[in-house]
């Protein structure tokens, strides 16, 4: 019979074996703010370099077998770039993950994309979405991940009602193009870049758009896309209850959509989110896509991504330690202090020794960040890429 320590280790090992979190290709390239961009010598400058960096993170953590692709940035020629991606998958042993259309960068989207007053521009946006669906089908990617930046900045400048209808129409046509096994994840954001109204501003709007689009549409929760003080784990519980939770974009924030590394500001919140997920059935958890969506403007790209994945693993492990049977009894009996302490005790437990043992047993380095430093990989890519990044820095000046 297993003792308490052995049972705890078994729960953590089972959780870590199932936990996979997708890396964003754009997290390895130079990114910035609306004020400017600080170029890093080691940043990826091609889609192949992004795959190389993603493969390095997966090799050291064992948790990230897929990389999210951005159509405009990674497949600029659309479906004709699919063979290139397939060759990179074989070369680096990481697969293409979610497909992310770009409906915010082109100048034609100044007044919106799928909710633009111009029928011609809405049709162009739809064509891009349909191309993205086809790319996903060709790559065997399950998820089409939609963030739509449409909205307005001033009262009276747009018809909110009309834009709801236009959004429904385009999302419905996109859903109709999905094949069996494909899903459409609809993300929401309360503000930025639009500061009066955003067309998909919260989870209720995203949920209704998903419902109207069809059964293959689900809601995507970005942990940075909420007002201060929002109870994100309550949203997660509701979406699980409704069978509408498709996935996450994980990051952290202090003020708004800061894109900080996961757990750097509020690890307890991430733990609480994972706790709600681990309360779900194994079948429900299988259908939840965990993805990272961060911009590391100052931290080293590969280092920050490994730091994020390791933090996610440790917080998921902590959530796996919650004694759910005891917690349920305490909740039913309204034993408030005892119930809270039952939850908190799992959060405060140092799971690193268990995680280290799991890594060792799985043939992974016990300390992925240390292993990266000792591998010489960052020095190698810095030497190889510094010239191209220096040239890029000159163009931003």
Q: What is the reported pLDDT for 395? A: 64
Domain ranges in the chain are 4-396
Q: What is the pTM of this model?
A: 0.96
The pLDDT tens digits of the residues spanning 234-279 come to 999 999 999 999 999 999 999 999 999 999 999 999 999 999 999 9
What tokens appear for 359 in the block? Answer: 């890594």
Yes or no: say if 378 and 300 are a contact pair by the CB < 8 Å rule. yes
Give the confidence band of 280 by pLDDT, cuts at 50, 70, 90: very high
Strands (E), 305-390: none
* Arch. (CATH architecture) of 4-396: Alpha-Beta Barrel (3.20)
| Percent with pLDDT over 90 in the chain | 92
Yes or no: say if 33 and 297 are a contact pair by the CB < 8 Å rule. yes
CA distance 48 to 67: 12
Pairing of strands 217-222, 183-187: parallel
CB atoms within 10 A of CB 137: 18
Give the confidence band of 396 by pLDDT, cuts at 50, 70, 90: low
* Average pLDDT along the chain: 96
Phi–psi pair at 104, nearest 5 degrees: -140, -15
Phi–psi pair at 105, nearest 5 degrees: -95, -35
**In the chain, alpha helices (H):** 4-18, 47-61, 71-74, 82-92, 119-139, 160-177, 203-213, 232-241, 267-279, 282-286, 301-320, 324-332, 336-348, 352-361, 368-375, 377-396
pLDDT at 2 over 80: no
CA distance 268 to 343: 11
What tokens appear for 77 in the block? Answer: 């020629």
Q: What is the reported pLDDT for 37? A: 81
Helix (H) or strand (E) holding 247: strand 245-250
Give the confidence band of 93 by pLDDT, cuts at 50, 70, 90: very high
Give the confidence band of 3 by pLDDT, cuts at 50, 70, 90: low
CA distance 199 to 164: 7
Question: What is the strand order of the sheet 217-222 is part of?
Answer: 23-24, 66-70, 95-100, 143-146, 183-187, 217-222, 245-250, 289-292
Give the confidence band of 163 by pLDDT, cuts at 50, 70, 90: very high
The pLDDT tens digits of the residues spanning 114-158 come to 999 999 999 999 999 999 999 999 999 999 999 999 999 999 999
């Amino acid at each position: 019979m297993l003792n308490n320590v052995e049972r705890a280790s078994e729960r953590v090992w089972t959780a870590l074996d199932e936990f996979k979190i997708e890396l964003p290709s754009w997290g390895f390239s130079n990114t910035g703010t609306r004020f400017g961009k600080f170029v890093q010598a080691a940043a990826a400058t091609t889609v192949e370099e992004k795959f190389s960096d993603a493969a390095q993170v997966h090799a050291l953590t064992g948790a990230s077998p897929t990389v999210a692709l951005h159509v405009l940035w990674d497949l600029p020629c659309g479906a004709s770039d699919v063979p290139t991606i397939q060759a990179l998958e074989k070369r680096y042993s990481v697969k293409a993950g979610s497909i992310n259309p770009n409906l915010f960068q082109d100048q034609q989207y100044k007044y919106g994309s799928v909710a633009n007053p111009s029928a011609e521009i809405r049709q162009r946006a739809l064509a891009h979405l349909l191309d993205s669906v086809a790319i996903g089908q060709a790559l065997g990617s399950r998820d089409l991940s939609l963030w739509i930046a449409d909205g307005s900045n001033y009262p009276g400048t747009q018809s909110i009602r009309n834009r709801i209808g236009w959004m429904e129409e385009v999302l419905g046509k996109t859903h109709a193009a999905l094949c069996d096994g494909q899903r459409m994840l609809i993300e929401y954001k309360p503000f930025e870049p639009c500061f009066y109204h955003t067309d998909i501003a919260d989870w209720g709007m995203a949920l209704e758009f998903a419902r109207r689009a069809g059964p293959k549409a689900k809601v995507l929760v970005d942990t940075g896309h909420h007002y201060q003080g929002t109870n994100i784990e309550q949203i997660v519980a509701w979406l699980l209850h409704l069978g509408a939770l498709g996935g996450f974009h994980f990051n952290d924030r202090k003020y708004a959509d800061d894109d900080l590394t996961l757990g750097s500001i509020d690890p307890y919140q991430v733990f609480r989110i994972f706790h709600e997920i681990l309360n779900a059935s194994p079948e429900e958890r299988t259908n939840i896509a965990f993805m990272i969506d961060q911009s590391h403007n100052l931290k080293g790209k590969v280092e920050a991504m490994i730091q994020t994945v390791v933090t996610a693993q440790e917080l998921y492990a902590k959530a796996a330690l919650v004694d759910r049977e005891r917690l349920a009894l305490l909740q039913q009996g309204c034993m408030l202090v005892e119930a809270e302490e039952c939850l908190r005790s799992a959060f405060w437990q140092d799971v690193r020794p268990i995680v280290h043992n799991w890594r060792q047993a799985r043939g992974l380095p016990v300390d992925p960040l240390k292993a990266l430093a000792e591998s010489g990989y960052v020095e190698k890519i810095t030497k190889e890429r510094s010239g191209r990044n220096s040239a890029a820095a000159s163009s931003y000046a």
